[in-house]
């Protein structure tokens, strides 16, 4: 089930505020930037950069995912392994607000999200 329209505004504000804090300097952004995507009931944090073999092609690589489970009112946290599949983040598989998810990704205590 998708996120309610009433929640989208709050989620977008939270993500915009967070992304503004972690984005690289403007001079670096054409080569590396950070953003997010909101798809259905999931939020993806993405790394944005040119393709290595075609600099004119911009690619988005997700590195962290949170999926909202409406029945539990919780966000499930996932990380992407080298096989490009999403796996639950076992140290903290769910949180109850988006800020907690963003804090876990920033701390990256186990090197799962940013390597």
Distance CA 28, CA 44 (A): 21
Say if residues 59 and 51 touch (Cβ distance below 8 Å): yes
User: pLDDT per position in the chain (115 positions), as tens?
Assistant: 567 777 899 999 999 999 999 999 999 999 999 999 999 999 999 999 999 999 999 999 999 999 999 999 999 999 999 999 999 999 999 999 999 999 999 999 999 998 7
Say if residues 24 and 12 touch (Cβ distance below 8 Å): no
pTM of this structure: 0.92
């Amino acid at each position: 089930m998708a996120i309610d329209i009433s929640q989208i505004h709050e989620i977008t504000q939270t993500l915009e505020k967070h992304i503004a804090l972690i984005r690289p300097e403007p001079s670096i952004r054409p080569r590396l930037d950070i953003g997010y995507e909101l798809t259905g009931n999931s939020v993806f944090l993405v790394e944005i950069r040119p393709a290595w073999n075609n600099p004119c092609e911009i690619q988005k690589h997700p590195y962290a995912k949170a999926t909202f489970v409406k029945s539990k009112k919780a966000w499930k946290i996932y990380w992407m392994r080298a096989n490009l599949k999403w796996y639950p983040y076992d140290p903290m598989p769910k949180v109850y607000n988006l800020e907690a998810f963003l804090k876990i990704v920033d701390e990256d205590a186990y090197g799962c999200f940013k390597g």
